[in-house]
């Protein structure tokens, strides 16, 4: 069963494409200014190599980071049954199933493609969610795998990383006086130096904000995809509300900020109630209240 689409689904797919295009244009423009064609290639190759290794070994790295243990089917038959049924509906191979030894309720999916994927849930989430809510969470994670979000986020991280590398190049070049030379006067061009310094500061931040916006768009897509897979959007909405409240009270203290976007809710808590538009720009996840409202609207459409 393929994931059904909707106007919201199409809009978030388009948003991802537009944001990736904007990120690429930032890289091209900044790259030409800082290092020309050669500098662009070196920056992209360096960032690409780092992120390719992370992408290829993503499942092993993040699962080891959180001491996740692969759980056999006989130990957790209901969990395995839910994952298998949802994977069949999504038309992908059944992911491996892991449990993370922490009482903070959360879950994530990882793996470079649907054939090398894993779903991990914490001990805490198994204790606070009922069966329908757990199915909604697992469907959300299966949707991430179906949508190949690990690949999309790796591409975004590679381009944003390349922009950061170029900014480092620019700092070195400025240090050695390689920029801003006015050849006719034999001195520095103050306006050129100021423009470069501004771009060195602004463009990496802009790239990071675009990367975060892509992450938020993929979360909306996974919510919608998970709602269609499980057929229970209100159960997923209820699960998100429970997770948000619990994580806000007891965040995952040993979580790595670099992996926060993987979890179904931010493991450090998302700071609901402090959601100004400016704060929202720096979120890895959309505000949970927005996600719940969308799922409630989707439930009305699915009747």
Confirm if 246 and 270 have CB atoms less than 8 A apart.
no
Catalytic residue among 133, 135, 141, 219: 141
The DSSP call for residue 190 is: H
Q: How far, in Å, CA of 91 to CA of 237, rounded? A: 24
Annotation says 141 is catalytic: yes
Structure tokens at 130: 């009922």
CA angle 246, 251, 253 (to 5 degrees): 155
The continuous run of DSSP H or E covering 27 comes out as: helix 7-34
Q: Report the chain's terminal Cα–Cα distance, integer Å.
A: 19
CA angle 241, 2, 51 (to 5 degrees): 70
Confirm if 268 and 251 have CB atoms less than 8 A apart.
yes
Give the 3-state secondary structure of residue 124: helix
β strands within the chain, DSSP E: 69-70, 96-100, 107-111, 117-122, 181-182, 187-188
Q: How far, in Å, CA of 280 to CA of 119, rounded? A: 27
Structure tokens at 152: 């999309």
Q: Helices then strands (H, E): number in the chain?
A: 11, 6
Q: Which residues are catalytic?
A: 141
């Amino acid at each position: 069963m393929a994931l059904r689409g909707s106007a919201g689904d199409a809009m978030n797919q388009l948003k991802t494409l537009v944001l990736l295009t904007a990120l690429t244009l930032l890289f091209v423009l900044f790259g030409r200014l800082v290092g020309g064609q050669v500098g662009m290639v070196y920056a992209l190759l360096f960032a690409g190599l780092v992120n390719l290794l992370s992408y290829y070994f993503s499942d092993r790295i993040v699962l080891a980071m959180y001491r996740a243990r692969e759980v056999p089917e006989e130990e957790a038959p209901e969990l395995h049954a839910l994952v298998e049924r949802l994977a069949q509906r999504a038309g992908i191979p059944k992911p491996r199933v892991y449990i993370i030894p922490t009482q903070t309720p959360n879950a994530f999916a990882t793996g470079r493609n649907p054939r090398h994927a894993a779903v991990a849930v914490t001990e805490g989430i198994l204790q606070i969610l009922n069966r329908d809510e757990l199915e909604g969470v697992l469907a959300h994670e299966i949707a991430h795998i179906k949508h190949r979000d690990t690949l999309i986020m790796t591409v975004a991280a590679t381009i944003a990383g390349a922009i950061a590398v170029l900014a480092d190049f620019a700092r070195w070049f400025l240090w050695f006086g390689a920029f801003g030379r006015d050849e006719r006067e034999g001195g520095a061009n103050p306006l050129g130096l100021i423009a470069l310094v501004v771009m060195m500061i602004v463009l990496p931040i802009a790239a990071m904000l675009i990367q975060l916006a892509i992450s938020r768009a993929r979360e909306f897509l996974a919510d919608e995809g998970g709602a269609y897979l499980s057929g229970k959007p209100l159960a997923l909405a209820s699960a998100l509300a429970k997770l948000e409240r619990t994580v806000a009270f007891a965040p995952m203290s040993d979580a790595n900020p670099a992996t926060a976007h993987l979890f179904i809710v931010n493991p450090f808590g998302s700071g609901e109630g402090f959601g100004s538009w400016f704060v929202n720009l720096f979120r890895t996840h959309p505000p949970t209240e927005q996600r719940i409202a969308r799922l409630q609207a989707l439930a009305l459409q699915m009747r």
